[in-house]
Homo-oligomer: A and B are copies of this chain.
Amino acid sequence: MAPDLDDIRAARDVIADVVKRTPVISSLTLSGDIGGNVVLKAENLQRTGSFKIRGATNKVASLGDVAVRGVTTGSAGNHAQALAFAAQHFGVPCEIFVPVGAAITKIDACRALGATVVEHGAALAEAVAAAKERANATGMTFCAPFDDPSVVAGQGTLGLEVIEDIDDLACVIVPLGGGGLISGAAIAVKSMRPDVRVIGVQAAVCAPYAGGTPADGPVLTLADGIAVKYPGELTGPLVERWVDDVVTVDEDAIADAMVLLMDRAKLYVEGAGAVGVAALLSSAVRPSPNGSTCVVLSGGNVDLGVVPSLIRRHENSSGRRLSVVARIDDRPGSLAHLLAVFADGGADLIEVQHVREGLELHVRETGIHATFAVRSIDQATALIVAARSAGYEIRPSTW
């Protein structure tokens, strides 16, 4: 059942017309931040925004005549878009089952690719069950997101590309959810170059391959694309056999990695796609001392609405932004004088609000919540000191 290098090479020929060979991008600044020679496999630039198109295309192609009856799956994520794209390419019907209330952007993306989207059930499991029922009732083929040899072989084509495109490849770091991408890539890489290390990265809140016990209920993580609670029947043993190590990263590291990838590498990468960089930043993985460490950026389908929060968080933690809570006398000029202290210290006011509830205030006092753009943590600290020297009771609200 498990695919081998020949299957992966065959998959490459099958999917060549659909799948891009995504660029490998070197980043001096990122390498400098991390230490070691780090290169990025920019699979976020792949068609449909993720590697999933590789496996989905190989799967649909493998169906032969059965494909005309159509394909279906339960997914609200990258697999859904990938399957819709592959089905459209081969001209076969596609039905995608998503939980009620799934992100409209994902639904729109599938519909734009010609798929029928059915909202069903409160959780993903119910949508998956509905897709399987639909397949049984109609003769459509249910296409699993990772636990399928054709899918694993398709994802493995990424492994061929990194071997061929990076001369001094020493280590490949791969996001690990269900395990389809990493097992395919590891089979390709290790079969050709057993000396190259392959490391999987999971989100700490959902890390079954790293020995974590999944919590009940929905998982809250920036890396929702890899929030899979149990190893696959096929992929579990493959990861066991082919992958050198599995590590985990926390949500702060993922958030830092996403912002760093935007700011330094100019790439827009989803949380699941950024865990490899997060692992390097948090020293969960050390880059190879000799040769290149390749980080697979597996996808770029970020909900735009998440980005402002990520950037605000980064601005606070990196000393670009300072929020304070202060207590001032309820007298003319009190706020003006406080703001003048900050202006003299070179801070640009972004926002100021009076806070009259929730603080223990004298009736002649007022609370102030103010946010400034600043240039460094040192400057922020100096501003607090200056305001205290000027007689204000003040504290940063975000440290």
Mark A111-139 against chain B: 1 for CB-CB distance below 8 A, else 0.
01000000000000000000000000000
Mark A243-278 against chain B: 1 for CB-CB distance below 8 A, else 0.
000000000000000010011011111000000000
Is B25 touching A304 in the complex (CB atoms < 8 A)?
A: no
Residues on B with C-beta less than 8 A from A267 are 45, 266-268
Could you jot down 10 A-B contacts, CB within 8 Å?
A23-B23, A25-B45, A104-B376, A263-B268, A267-B267, A304-B311, A304-B315, A304-B320, A307-B307, A307-B311
Residues on B with C-beta less than 8 A from A268 are 262-263, 266-268
Is B304 touching A314 in the complex (CB atoms < 8 A)?
A: yes
Residues of A within 8 A of B (CB): 20, 23, 25-26, 28, 32, 44-45, 47, 49, 104, 112, 259, 262-263, 265-269, 300, 304-305, 307-308, 311-312, 314-315, 320, 373, 375-376
Is A307 touching B305 in the complex (CB atoms < 8 A)?
A: no
Please, how many angstroms separate the alpha-carbon atoms of A241 and B307 in the complex? 43
Please, how many angstroms separate the alpha-carbon atoms of A262 and B44 in the complex? 11
Is B263 touching A45 in the complex (CB atoms < 8 A)?
A: no
Closest partner residue, chain B, to A318 (CB atom): B304
Residues on B with C-beta less than 8 A from A320 are 304-305
Residues on B with C-beta less than 8 A from A28 are 47
Please, how many angstroms separate the alpha-carbon atoms of A375 and B304 in the complex? 13
Residues on B with C-beta less than 8 A from A265 are 45
Known contacts A44-B266, A259-B304, A305-B311, then 5 further A-B pairs from the complex at CB < 8 Å, ordered by chain A residue = A45-B267, A266-B300, A307-B311, A308-B311, A308-B312
Residues on B with C-beta less than 8 A from A45 are 23, 25, 265-267
Is A308 touching B305 in the complex (CB atoms < 8 A)?
A: no
Is B305 touching A373 in the complex (CB atoms < 8 A)?
A: yes
SS class, residues of chain A in contact with chain B: helix
Please, how many angstroms separate the alpha-carbon atoms of A308 and B350 in the complex? 13
The 6 A-B residue pairs whose C-beta atoms are closest, nearest first, are A266-B300, A308-B308, A23-B23, A104-B375, A266-B268, A44-B266
A90 to chain B, nearest CB (A): 16
Residues on B with C-beta less than 8 A from A300 are 266
Please, how many angstroms separate the alpha-carbon atoms of A132 and B386 in the complex? 38
Please, how many angstroms separate the alpha-carbon atoms of A266 and B44 in the complex? 7
A348 to chain B, nearest CB (A): 10
A86 to chain B, nearest CB (A): 13
A32 to chain B, nearest CB (A): 8
Is A315 touching B311 in the complex (CB atoms < 8 A)?
A: no
Please, how many angstroms separate the alpha-carbon atoms of A244 and B20 in the complex? 32
Is A262 touching B304 in the complex (CB atoms < 8 A)?
A: yes
A103 to chain B, nearest CB (A): 9
A398 to chain B, nearest CB (A): 15
Please, how many angstroms separate the alpha-carbon atoms of A315 and B303 in the complex? 11
Residues on B with C-beta less than 8 A from A311 are 304-305, 307-308
Closest partner residue, chain B, to A259 (CB atom): B304
Of A304, A308, A315, A373, chain B has the most CB atoms within 10 Å of the CB of: A304
Closest partner residue, chain B, to A26 (CB atom): B20
Residues on B with C-beta less than 8 A from A376 are 104
Residues on B with C-beta less than 8 A from A266 are 44-45, 49, 267-269, 300
A378 to chain B, nearest CB (A): 11
Please, how many angstroms separate the alpha-carbon atoms of A390 and B300 in the complex? 42
Please, how many angstroms separate the alpha-carbon atoms of A265 and B269 in the complex? 11
Please, how many angstroms separate the alpha-carbon atoms of A259 and B303 in the complex? 12
A71 to chain B, nearest CB (A): 20
Please, how many angstroms separate the alpha-carbon atoms of A186 and B61 in the complex? 43
Closest partner residue, chain B, to A107 (CB atom): B375
